[in-house]
Amino acid sequence: MAIFTFLGTGTSQGVPVIGCRCEVCTSTDRRDNRLRTSAMVEAEGQRIVIDAGPDFRQQMLREGVAELDAILFTHHHKDHTGGLDDVRAFNFNHYPRIRPMHIYATATTASYLRKDYDYAFAEQKYIGAPELRLHEIDTEQQFKVGDIEITPIRGTHAPNIEVVGFRIGAMAYLTDFKTIEPSEVDKLRGVEHLVVNALRFEPHHSHFNVEEAVALVREIAPTKAYLTHSSHRMGLYSEAEKLLPEGVMLAYDGLKFEF
């Protein structure tokens, strides 16, 4: 049995949005407070995080995570990569033994990580820089983290911006998708728990809206589907949830499920 945790379910600005006084951003319902989108999977003695955005430190503290084995990256945007430096805590929490963090990304995303965190990949690093082991993944090939087999699911976020989701057993996680090819949809057949991004009800140029996300859910027909990467434009959680079809729920930070 594996455990999935929604570390964050918000879009790039998070919710509340700085300076916004809308009913969602001022809501007292904790489900309307969304850190940047990220998730955690615990299975086969491994703990894996998907994306380490600017709220990574806060998410790790909230969930009480003391040990982490790997991070998978969906793409290179800062709301998904901006917290990578904070893996230093996991590198050095058993000092003097230093434990490198294994990170997995496509060649494109890896190139951005090497540029943005060049000090972590330098030949002569300063003491205390993050210790990273970067593994480039081929989106056409399965790969393993420990004993966990992972299937990449390729999509597009916007023209010329590729994004990758991940299938682990009967669960699949897709975020920041705008399009997905039929061949990639086929990789999702048989999934029981599908997590998919839905920015808002209105259309958007680079993210699924609710209608598009639900259309994919209906094609895959999982037992349960969860919508994530939602903005304040989604509306109040208590109201938006009522508008979703049976078997589809709006995710919120801290929500967990087993698969």
The number of beta carbons lying within 10 Å of the beta carbon of residue 204 is 16
Q: What is the pLDDT of residue 66?
A: 96
Q: How confident is the model at residue 95 (pLDDT cuts 50, 70, 90)?
A: confident
* Interval 166-177: pLDDT, tens: 999 999 999 999
Q: What is the pLDDT of residue 250?
A: 98
Query: How far, CA to CA in Å, does 142 sit from each of 40, 118, 150, 172, 203?
Result: 19, 28, 6, 14, 32
Q: What is the pLDDT of residue 172?
A: 98
Q: Is the pLDDT of residue 151 over 90?
A: yes
Q: How confident is the model at residue 96 (pLDDT cuts 50, 70, 90)?
A: confident
* Interval 177-227: pLDDT, tens: 999 999 999 999 999 999 999 999 999 999 999 999 999 999 999 999 999
Do 86 and 185 touch, CB atoms closer than 8 A? no
Q: How confident is the model at residue 105 (pLDDT cuts 50, 70, 90)?
A: very high
Q: How confident is the model at residue 8 (pLDDT cuts 50, 70, 90)?
A: very high
Q: Is the pLDDT of residue 121 over 90?
A: yes
Q: How confident is the model at residue 94 (pLDDT cuts 50, 70, 90)?
A: confident
- Cα 97–chain centre separation: 29
Q: How confident is the model at residue 14 (pLDDT cuts 50, 70, 90)?
A: very high
Report residue 44 as tokens.
Answer: 């086969």
Strands 224-228 and 193-197: parallel
Largest CA distance in the chain: 55
Concatenate the DSSP letters of all residues of 117-139 into one string.
Answer: THHHH-SSPPTT---EEEEE--T
Residue the block writes with tokens 């490198």: 100
Q: What is the pLDDT of residue 161?
A: 96
Report residue 83 as tokens.
Answer: 């917290």
Q: Residue 94 burial (CB < 10 Å; 0-12/13-18/19+)?
A: exposed
* Interval 31-88: pLDDT, tens: 999 999 999 999 999 999 999 999 999 999 999 999 999 999 999 999 999 999 999 9
Q: Which residue(s) pair with 195 in the sheet?
A: 173, 226
Q: What is the pLDDT of residue 38?
A: 98
User: What does the alpha-carbon distance between residue 159 and residue 157 come to, in Å, rounded to a whole number?
Assistant: 7
Chain mean pLDDT for the chain: 97
